[in-house]
Amino acid sequence: MSESGNWCLIESDPGVFTELIHKFGVSGVQVEELWSLDQEQFQTLNPVYGLIFLFKWTQDDKQPANVVMDSRLDKIFFAKQMINNACATQAILSVLMNITSSDIKLGSTLQEFKDFCASFDATMKGLALSNSEAIRTVHNSFSHQTLFEFDAKKPEKDDDVFHFVSYIPIDGRIYELDGLKEGPIDHGAAGENWTETVRPIIEARMQMYKEGEIHFNLLAMVEDKIQKFNRIISSGAGEDEKQRVRMLLADEESRRARWKMENIRRRHNYLPIIMELLKQLAQRGELGTVYEKAKEKTIQMNQAKAAKKAK
């Protein structure tokens, strides 16, 4: 796998992922962050099309015994990960490309890409993805503005490296799609409620970390709530139910507006004003004091981080 390959790192955030999906031209889905694996939370989000799991990656050269290498690959979109920084978008596409619901429209960009590489093996799909100008352009639209260009470096031994994988039900079975593996991982029958079946699988992965460490994040790809609420309002639901859903719709529209503003701020270039502030501090003779305080705080933070890892 190569380095960044002109793909930026993007934040694991439901507002970022939802806008990314919509920029691809996909309609009918959004992303929600999960704070627990309780069934009550899943029930409020149904239908849940797939899960995206971010975790602290550790080297593991052993391939699972349940990697799919048979004819099922003809029905599963699976691509090897060829670019480090593309793993968030790859995890999103791993879910989107395997959704069979007629309520979800991929849009021309992803549908054409899916059709183009339908006959490719996993490696060729990964190469096609890493070289897709249309997909990379949307991905990089979430890059942070920088004043300086830094050479990409390989992670040091003690650096935290994070990775995304997807979980999705396909033809009655649960598959883990991890672009660093040789193929999809078959976790068995999905059962009547696949989110209940997948819970112990994800919980087992979370339990690999020390108590008190938070090295993972879980997001669900669900039906677009605005689409869902509008459908309920236009249906034959009672007036009390419609009024309740109208309130939920207003809340969701307000949240979307907030997400939009947050994404604008993420992309905004704050460096000119930062440089101007530094110049003003320097002219007033205060820059050295501020620098020393910041340096001291950084040393303390690094010492605390090292002590935590040593436990």
Quick one: how far is CA 299 from the chain centroid? 31
Q: Which of 87, 117, 139, 187 is catalytic?
A: 87
User: Residue 159's pLDDT is what?
Assistant: 54
The candidate with the shortest Cα–Cα distance to 76, out of 42, 58, 99, is 99
Note if 215 is an active site residue.
no
H-helix segments, 78-162? 87-96, 107-116, 122-130, 133-140
| CA neighbours closer than 13 Å in the CB half-sphere of residue 62 | 3
Q: Between the CA of residue 117 and those of 2, 58, 121, 203, what are the distances in Å? A: 21, 30, 8, 34
For the entire predicted model, the pTM comes to: 0.82
> What's 27's DSSP letter?
B
47 touches 222 (CB < 8 A): yes
Note if 8 is an active site residue.
no
Which amino acid type is present at position 139?
Answer: H
Question: What tokens appear for 282 in the block?
Answer: 């320097």
User: Residue 207's pLDDT is what?
Assistant: 79
The candidate with the shortest Cα–Cα distance to 88, out of 162, 175, 187, 28, is 162
User: Residue 61's pLDDT is what?
Assistant: 59
Q: What SS3 state is found at 270?
A: coil
53 touches 245 (CB < 8 A): no
> What's 218's DSSP letter?
E
Residue with tokens 């890409």: 113
Q: Which of 8, 117, 144, 163 is catalytic?
A: 163
User: Residue 150's pLDDT is what?
Assistant: 46
Helix (H) or strand (E) holding 306: helix 287-310
Which pLDDT tens digits describe the chain residue by residue (311 residues)?
555 568 888 888 999 999 999 999 999 999 999 988 888 888 889 999 999 998 876 666 567 778 988 888 999 999 999 988 888 999 999 999 999 999 999 999 999 999 999 999 999 999 999 999 999 999 998 886 655 544 444 555 555 677 899 999 999 999 999 998 999 999 999 999 999 999 999 988 887 765 655 677 899 999 999 999 999 999 877 889 999 999 999 999 999 999 999 988 888 878 888 888 888 988 999 888 988 999 999 999 988 888 876 66
The CA distance from 178 to 163, in Å, is: 9
The CA distance from 90 to 106, in Å, is: 15
User: Residue 154's pLDDT is what?
Assistant: 52
